[in-house]
Chain A
Amino acid sequence: MAENFHNLMMGISVSMQPYNFMIAMIGLVLGVIVGVLPGLGGANGVAILIPLTVAMQPVSGIILLASIYWGALYGGSITSILFNIPGEPWSVATTFDGYPMAKKGHAGKALVLSFFSHFVGAVLGVIMLSFFAPVIANFALRFGPAEIFSVMVLTFSAFVGLSGKDPLKTCVAIFLGFILSAVGMDIVTGQLRLTFGSIDLMGGFNFIVAVIGLFGLGEIFLTVEEGLKLDSTEGGKVTFKDMAWGVKELLIEWKALLLGCVIGCWMGLKPGGATPASFMAYGFAKQGHRKSEEFGFGASAGIIAPEAAAHGAGTSAALPMITLGIPGSPTMAVIMGGLMIFGLLPGPMLFVEHPDFVWGFIGSCWIGNFIGLLVVLAFAPLFAAILKVRFAIIMPIIIYVCAIGAYAVNNRVIDIYYMIGFGVVGYLFKKLDYPLAPLVLALVLGDMAESALRQALLISGGSPIVLIKPPIALPIMIAGLVIFFWPTISGIIKKRRLKVGPG
């Protein structure tokens, strides 16, 4: 414990170095802008800027990327509350109560509540990251290929069993992600797979390009289809009186706050990401609240719970990413892609080989989230003003920047075509309710999962029993199976109870 604390202090001092501090500030401001703009989300905001970080030190690079994420998490709520336009998918739940509250003339109060809840969620996530990450990483050092593969099975089972989406569609999305990652040269045999003689396909699909298309262009298509309606409310300035009120309100609604934080951290670890976390927290907070009829008309708890959950999920998503190499949210997946470009392989060895890097990152999570709070509290109206610029100006610029981001990953023009293709796919999948997060995650983890599986099978000489070898792989696999069939299992349990109950 003491050693961790010492390491954490070292990390914070790394992130407080003037250059890194400046990078964090730039990242936060960019992040809030990304968060405010609909059609430009955290995942593709980070993806576009990855090329810029290649020239930096790895620590500075990840500080920039993570700061964009923190900024986007804060920023999404600003426009949700002031204009009823969610700047990010994870701030959709905020519009339910944030906008009504702002409409009553309490825009400042709604913003304060949202930012404070974000901060509390972030702090809890970062505490977990600081004190559990070393423990988990230490444990994961004992993992062999079979264990790594079982963790991946658990991860994807969580998407199928716990996301509440159609399990068939989720499975298809996962398989498609893995198939896309298999295109190109096979890393073990060197054979060309799924290229069908095309030279362009030999390079495979880069997941950053996929993210920019699926989340960036897909989102733009959805936005233009619905048309952007600006329901502006007055105000948005935050006063000290609002802040005092916000603190008091948080203490009154501590249950909603706690609920949001816990759901958020769970969804970040599991992985699920910030968006489902915010919806889940809103639903649970409404169910259990004594004044649930106030929800939808500006209830404080209706802002607190989803906001705390979104940011809690965002920060705790870093925990599985940095310890196991399995990102907890799509944006974390992109950040992990950035790490791989720096030549760092996320996973337990990272703590051993590059402690300065890991702790610098964790330290910057503390600093970044704290400064982010100050930035949005002070400048919320300024960022909101960005949305006054007409969408017909912003939108083509976003596409232009997306094209740069897609090209710069591998310096290939074909990637920009892929980006547009992925945009159409993203639009269709969003409309038809195919989940995108597991697809992206499968695309990121594809090579790792495949080499883990093949190594495990090679070690065992082809016997699949190795994948359920005790003591580590077996319980993880069983947990994965239980989670996979959770909807069925919970249905059976409920039926049993009903039978026993009234009888």
Chain B
Amino acid sequence: MRKANLGVAIFLFVLGAIVMYDAVRLGFRWDPGFGPGAGYLPFYLSLGVLICTAIFIVKQVIQLSKIGIVGDKPLIQEGGLKPILWVLLPSTAMVILISIIGLHFAAFVFLLFYMRVVGKIGWLECALVSILMPIGLYVVFDRLFLIPLPDGMLGNYIKLPF
């Protein structure tokens, strides 16, 4: 986990540098006629991030050079990465699908895929849940509470008949 710690800290350091760059562009100094510029607070925030992560990185590097990574616990425990990816990738795919065929239909595909392929659940159960759930949520959100959920680009062609 020490490597991951270092990696995340370096990433945050870079992020802090980017924020500082933008804060300097916006102007972080005191403008006599106007007051603090738009970059005033972001500048000091990014300064804080840079200082904290820099100290942290130095500490981590010293630690790593002293004891190395022997005996370190991995970030993701053994056999843990696969189930995580099996959640992460299909849900990302669902989000991409949302902008094409709309939220409820994308969810139908996602539910069916996950339950059937990953969960290995019987067809009947899969079909029931993945059809009834979107219909139920459609009725509650779109119909009862009048919160329109995204239809997607093909919303005019693919939609629920009620």
Which A residues contact B (CB, under 8 angstroms)?
Answer: 51-52, 54-55, 168-169, 171-172, 175-176, 178-179, 182, 186, 188-189, 191, 193-194, 196, 217, 220-221, 224-227, 390, 392-393, 395-397, 399-401, 403-404, 407-408, 411, 413, 416-417, 420, 423-424, 427-428, 431-432, 450, 453-454, 457-458, 462
Contact A404–B137 (Cβ < 8 Å): yes
A396 to B114, CA, bound (A): 7
Would you call B135 an interface residue if the criterion is a C-beta within 8 Å of the partner chain's C-beta atoms?
no
Q: Given A179-B46, A400-B137, are A393 and B38 also a contact pair (CB < 8 Å)?
A: no
- A-contact bits for B8-44, CB 8 A (1 contact / 0 none): 1000100110010011001000100011111111100
Number of contact residues on B: which range applies? 35 or more
A184 to B59, CA, bound (A): 34
Q: Given A168-B55, A420-B91, are A52 and B147 also a contact pair (CB < 8 Å)?
A: yes
Task: Give B31 Cβ to nearest chain A Cβ, in Å.
Answer: 9
Contact A179–B42 (Cβ < 8 Å): yes
Label chain B's interface by main secondary structure: helix
Contact A168–B114 (Cβ < 8 Å): no
A196 to B21, CA, bound (A): 11
A226 to B107, CA, bound (A): 25
Task: Give B6 Cβ to nearest chain A Cβ, in Å.
Answer: 10
Contact A225–B80 (Cβ < 8 Å): yes
Task: Give B86 Cβ to nearest chain A Cβ, in Å.
Answer: 8
Chain B residues with Cβ under 8 A from A403's Cβ?
91, 94-95, 98, 103, 107
Q: Given A401-B137, A416-B98, are A221 and B125 also a contact pair (CB < 8 Å)?
A: no
What are the 7 closest A-B residue pairs judged by CB atoms, nearest first? A392-B119, A225-B80, A224-B83, A186-B38, A191-B38, A396-B114, A400-B107
A194 to B39, CA, bound (A): 9
Would you call B69 an interface residue if the criterion is a C-beta within 8 Å of the partner chain's C-beta atoms?
no
Contact A221–B19 (Cβ < 8 Å): no
Task: Give A159 Cβ to nearest chain B Cβ, in Å.
Answer: 14
Of the residues A175, A417, A431, contact of B48 by C-beta under 8 Å: A175
Contact A221–B35 (Cβ < 8 Å): no
Of the residues B8, B16, B86, B137, contact of A432 by C-beta under 8 Å: B8
Contact B19–A179 (Cβ < 8 Å): yes
Which B residues contact A (CB, under 8 angstroms)?
Answer: 1, 4-5, 8, 12, 15-16, 19, 22-23, 26, 30, 34-42, 45-46, 48-49, 52-53, 55-56, 75-77, 80-81, 83-84, 86-88, 91-92, 94-95, 98-99, 103, 107, 110-111, 114-115, 118-121, 125, 129, 133-134, 137, 141, 145-150
Task: Give A212 Cβ to nearest chain B Cβ, in Å.
Answer: 12
Contact A457–B35 (Cβ < 8 Å): yes
A411 to B30, CA, bound (A): 37
Most central of A188, A189, A411 by chain B CB within 10 Å? A189
Task: Give B64 Cβ to nearest chain A Cβ, in Å.
Answer: 15
A189 to B99, CA, bound (A): 34
In the complex, given contacts A51-B141, A172-B56, what are 6 additional A-B residue pairs having Cβ atoms less than 8 angstroms apart?
A55-B146, A393-B115, A395-B114, A396-B110, A420-B95, A432-B8
Q: Given A171-B48, A193-B42, A403-B107, are A408 and B36 also a contact pair (CB < 8 Å)?
A: no
Task: Give A139 Cβ to nearest chain B Cβ, in Å.
Answer: 27
Contact B5–A178 (Cβ < 8 Å): no
Chain B residue nearest to A449 in the complex (CB) = B41
Task: Give A224 Cβ to nearest chain B Cβ, in Å.
Answer: 4
A390 to B122, CA, bound (A): 12
Of the residues A55, A220, A395, A411, contact of B145 by C-beta under 8 Å: A55
Contact B45–A179 (Cβ < 8 Å): yes
Chain A residues with Cβ under 8 A from B8's Cβ?
428, 432
Task: Give A460 Cβ to nearest chain B Cβ, in Å.
Answer: 10
A395 to B115, CA, bound (A): 9
Contact A399–B87 (Cβ < 8 Å): yes
Task: Give A238 Cβ to nearest chain B Cβ, in Å.
Answer: 31
Q: List 14 A-B contacts (CB under 8 A).
A: A168-B55, A178-B41, A188-B38, A193-B39, A390-B121, A395-B114, A396-B115, A399-B94, A399-B110, A400-B110, A404-B137, A407-B103, A413-B99, A454-B36
A407 to B141, CA, bound (A): 12
Task: Give B5 Cβ to nearest chain A Cβ, in Å.
Answer: 6
